[in-house]
Amino acid sequence: MDPVDALLKKYWGYTSFLPHQQEIIRSVLDGRDTVAIMATGGGKSLCYQLPALYLGGLAIVVSPLISLMKDQVDDLNLRGIAAAAYTSTLTYLEKAEIRRQLSENTLRILFLSPEKSMQPDFLRSLAHLQVHLIAIDEAHCISEWGHDFRPEYRHLSRLKRRFPDVPVIALTATATPEVRMDISRQLGLSDACEFVGSFNRTNLLYRVIPKTNPMALLLSYINRHRNESGIVYCFSKKNTEELSRQLQKYGYQALPYHAGLPKKEREEVQERFVHDRVQIVCATVAFGMGIDKPDVRYVVHYNMPKTLESYYQETGRAGRDGKSSECVLFYSPEDADMLRSMLDRDAPGAPHRRAALTKLDAMVRYCETTGCRRKYLLKYFGEEYVVENCNLCDNCLRLTPEDTELFLSLKALRKEIANNTSKPASNIFSDKSLQEMARTRPRDRESFRQISGVGKIKLEKYGPAFLTAIYEYMQERDP
């Protein structure tokens, strides 16, 4: 067995790689600087964790969030891989233990914040270690085009200068072609090998809804997903608290999450959400990165994000298990005007203001396009989507707005049947079949039989209920 395959089987229990993983790992093992752009859930972490084992010595991983580092360290240690995170939250004894492991070369992976990795004393101490690999996670933060601007990321080229012969791998889920070029330039990478996975999340349905009476919209939407996990992204801390209180009044298990909450409280919200003790988190952008929860069935943006990068990252937290999930954005031009005003007020002369305005305009165009939203989104990230109708966004699904409403009604019926029969919803009818029903609105058994995915058995078993639902829907609107 190939040594790389053997490590994959021994420590992760897998016998095959996800798309691009093997090529990325080979590039790193060949000593090449590497840029890896892989969608959420694509297995980015394995692309530096496995090479770290293979190469021996120490791998340094620069990561922006303590909670993300902690989760990865816990997972690696459970797999029998010696890893640690050197953070400001450690006690003196804990730091001393990490230093001992480093001096004895028993630690394979060390996670650091960008701030810690740039401290001069710490940089000097690294020079005495057997560093064989450097990984930069969430590498979009490096770029002036990046949507999570963090100054320390802009100085990480010092690591490359300190270890010129050590391969560097930069990883992120979202990066436009301009950002990818900037990542290589800012890190001082040498002839970097670039791998870009597909940004097309085929299990996600994208919708943009006019923001009229948003609370009623939210309640109507969440009611279709009762007892399912979801995230509602808000613009401000105040919004998260107000919305969670309102949802609690209507009987939903909802909690707020924002950077202003005490650390312990934030951790508790995250823990309760991951373990299904709360169904809905109303959150600012502070929530979600590194959350390993596969069954988030919907993500609602109560306010428009500033950039398509943020939007893609946040919607990417839905459906990580590959099952159908929905992404809904409430849009109003007033939200866009407010964001422009904030940029004018907070950064009138800042060098990145023009880039920020360009990104905001792209976000607005996404919201206002009448074409395929998936096509627009993928083109933004430099990926061609040749299909004209994706059948998985509101614009492609409807000749009229009523099609979307009927689709959601049929989806609610499918869920009810699934619950009553203990069958997976996808075994009854696929989203594609429901979308076709909403578009063509069959009135009898013969026309219903023409829907893709409807065979003789399903026609007999489920046809009457769905035909009745379509008939009643049409009667309500055109008696």
pLDDT tens per residue across span 39-58: 877 789 999 999 999 999 99
Highest mean pLDDT: which range of 88-92, 190-194, 243-247? 243-247
Tell me, what's the pLDDT at 347?
Answer: 58
Residues 183 and 209 in one domain: no
Q: What is the pLDDT of residue 1?
A: 61
pLDDT tens-place string over residues 266-299: 889 988 998 899 999 999 987 866 677 889 999 9
pLDDT at position 144 is 64
Check: CB of residue 395 under 8 Å from CB of residue 439: no
Residue 276 lies in a domain: no
Of 343, 376, 393, at which residue does a domain stop?
393
Query: Which contacts qualify for 438-443: CB closer than 8 Å, 24 or more apart?
Result: 438/397, 438/403, 438/404, 438/406, 438/407, 438/410, 439/397, 439/398, 439/399, 439/403, 441/406, 441/470, 441/474, 442/467, 442/470, 443/467, 443/470, 443/471
As a whole number, the mean pLDDT across the chain is: 88
> Domain range for residue 432?
402-477
Residues 377 and 425 occupy one common structural domain: no
- For residue 168, is pLDDT > 90? yes
Q: Tell whether 256 is covered by a domain.
A: no
pLDDT tens, position by position, 96-144: 999 999 999 999 999 998 888 888 888 888 888 899 999 999 888 887 6
Q: Let me know: does 272 contact 278? Beta carbons within 8 Å.
A: yes
pLDDT digits (tens, 9 = 90+) for 77-100: 989 999 999 988 889 999 999 999
- Residues 12-39 have pLDDT tens digits of 988 999 889 999 999 999 999 999 999 8
Q: Is 60 exceeded by the pLDDT of residue 211?
A: yes
172/66 same-domain check: yes
Has residue 148 got a pLDDT over 70? no
**Does residue 386 belong to any structural domain of this protein?**
yes
Total structural domains in the chain?
3
Type of residue numbered 103:
S
Residue 149 has a pLDDT of: 58
CA nearest neighbour of 356 among 374, 342, 370: 342
Residue 190 lies in a domain: yes
pLDDT of the residue at 259: 85
The residue ranges of DSSP E strands in 173-279, in sequence order, are 193-196, 204-210, 229-233, 254-257
Q: In angstroms, rounded to a whole number, what is the distance separating the alpha carbons of residues 41 and 316?
A: 8
- What pLDDT sits at residue 187? 92
Asked if residue 420 and residue 335 are part of one domain, the reply reads no
Confidence check: pLDDT of 159 > 80: yes
70, 139: one domain = yes
Q: Are residue 42 and residue 153 in the same domain, yes or no? A: yes
DSSP 8-state secondary structure symbol assigned to residue 319: -
What pLDDT was estimated at residue 43? 87
Reading the block at residue 186, the tokens are 């800012």
pLDDT at 433: 85
Q: Is residue 328 part of a domain?
A: yes
Asked if the structure places residue 259 within a domain, the reply is no
State the burial class of residue 13 (Cβ atoms within 10 Å of its Cβ: 0-12, 13-18, 19+): exposed
Judgement on whether residues 328 and 448 belong to the same structural domain of the protein: no
Q: How much is the pLDDT for 7? A: 94
Same domain flag for 214 and 154:
no
- Both 11 and 92 in a single domain? yes
Out of 344, 375, 393, pick the residue that ends a domain.
393
Q: Are residues 355 and 413 in the same domain?
A: no
Based on the fold, state whether residues 340 and 429 are members of the same structural domain: no
Q: Is residue 258 part of a domain?
A: no
* pLDDT digit string, tens, across residues 355-402: 788 899 999 999 999 899 999 999 999 999 988 888 889 888 877 666
Q: Is residue 269 part of a domain?
A: no
Q: What is the pLDDT of residues 292-340, one digit of tens each?
A: 788 999 999 999 999 999 899 899 999 988 888 999 999 998 999 999 8
Cα–Cα distance measured from residue 83 to residue 144, given in angstroms and rounded to the nearest whole number: 31
Domain shared by 300 and 409, yes or no: no
Residue 52 and residue 108 in contact, taking contact as beta carbons nearer than 8 Å: yes
146 pLDDT band, cuts 50/70/90, is low
End-to-end C-alpha distance for the chain, whole angstroms:
69
The enclosing domain of 340 has a CATH number of: 3.40.50.300
Which residue among 339, 372, 393 closes a domain?
393
